[in-house]
Amino acid sequence: MLTFFFSIADSVRFLSSNKEDPYGSSKSIMGKSISLRFLIHNFGDVHQPLHAAERVTPNRPGGDMGGNLFTIKHYNNTGMDNLHFIWDEMFDDYKTSIRSNLNATQYQFIEQLSLDIQQEYTFDLLKNQITKNSTQKLWSQESLDVAVNFAYKNIQEGQDLPEAYQQQGRDICRNRVALAGYRLGVTLDKIYKQINSKESSVLSKYLSDLTQFSTISKKTSVSKSASKRKSVKALVTN
């Protein structure tokens, strides 16, 4: 999870500064474009519950890689039949792949899905949670809570998931996607207000909070990452 924190922090600092230049010219359209893509991707990842935890058992003391090793019977495809994949797919059986450059039909599908989720989980409905939990640490804690309290409950490895589990999982995924999208929107709004600010060299508190992990040294981050994995594993062992 710390990898996401560092990546989000780097993207926020890069996009919000006209002076800082960590990976080439900060005014480069290509540099900004790549940084924005990383930001979008990592906002999604940090809200995916199985990116925050893994299941540890006596038979699998090293963990199940966030559900990637937890096999299920659902897709009739060994490459797809695991718990992590179905959470990535939001419990929907998509007929067309959306993991590559989108054609017009795929784009329309994504646009409609986005509109459906926004209607189901409006910004006003989630505003209190968005305001209260405004740091990466709290976003990842939300994901961890879902993993611990739901993702591994009442399911058996090697079997298809109960219908009730799939429906609740689908609802949770749509909620998490809505939260990630709104938080991304808030962040981008802050970033571009930052760029146009007369005090653009001083990050706003919101953006500063999102970049707090970028000040941790590489040596410290490795040890903290190992410690984090141990604590997460302990929490989800059953």
Give residue 184's pLDDT. 97
Residue 204 CA to residue 165 CA, distance in Å, equals 41
What is the value of pTM for the model shown? 0.83
User: What are the structural domains of the chain?
Assistant: 2-236 (1.10.575.10)
Q: Which of 1, 2, 10, 22 is nearest to 220 (CA)?
A: 2
* Integer angstrom CA distances of residue 222 from 51, 52, 100, 185, 228: 18, 17, 32, 31, 10
Give residue 220's pLDDT. 29
Give residue 30's pLDDT. 76
Give residue 188's pLDDT. 94
* Integer angstrom CA distances of residue 237 from 46, 118, 133: 21, 34, 26
Burial track 193-218 (b if 16+ CB lie within 10 A, e otherwise): ebeeeeeeeebeebbebbbebeebee
Q: Which two tokens stand for residue 159?
A: 């079997």
How confident is the prediction along the chain (238 residues), in pLDDT tens digits per residue? 667 788 898 899 888 877 655 555 555 677 788 889 999 999 999 999 999 999 999 999 999 999 999 999 998 888 899 999 999 999 987 666 676 678 888 888 889 999 999 999 999 999 999 999 999 999 999 999 999 999 999 999 999 999 999 999 999 999 999 999 999 999 999 998 887 776 666 678 888 888 775 443 332 232 333 333 333 333 333 3
Give residue 233's pLDDT. 35
